[in-house]
Amino acid sequence: MAKKERTKTRYVDLNVQEGGFVSKFIASRSKPNFSDVAILRKLLSNEKCRILYTLKHKKPKSIYEIAKLLGRDFKSVYEDLKMLERFGLIEFHLSKVGKRESLAPVLVVDNLKIIVRI
């Protein structure tokens, strides 16, 4: 009998009205003043999609390695990864080589399904 492959799917329920699900999901110290659609645009930017693709296919061992593969600044990649982590698309795993420690971002979803309620 063939083993059935399990997939991990993340659902984002989008409410077009201000103050919907996504705004509450990424609550920060200062109250966000933009709509769910604007947050979704930031989440699904070309750069974040490139990061997700790189995580899936290249399996980099550190944030620095991702930045190097993408030809981007470390700080920008780190900020993008933190947003992806807040949405539950990635996790950081601590890896240690000798005395040196690094955070390895790991993709934890296979699918992202977006529901838009109008």
Ordered by where they begin, the domains of the chain are 9-117 (1.10.10.10)
Question: Is the pLDDT at 2 greater than 50, yes or no?
Answer: yes
Q: Using one digit for the tens of pLDDT, what is the confidence trace for 34-57? A: 466 777 788 889 999 999 999 999
Task: Please give the Cα distance from 100 to 64 (Å, whole number).
Answer: 13
Its pTM stands at: 0.73
94 within 8 A of 101, measured Cβ to Cβ:
yes
> Which element (helix H / strand E) includes 111?
strand 111-117
Least confident range of 1-10, 23-32, 65-74? 23-32
Nearest to 106 by CA among 58, 55, 69, 66: 55
| Per-residue tokens: 13 | 């329920």
67 within 8 A of 52, measured Cβ to Cβ:
no
| Per-residue tokens: 57 | 């296919």
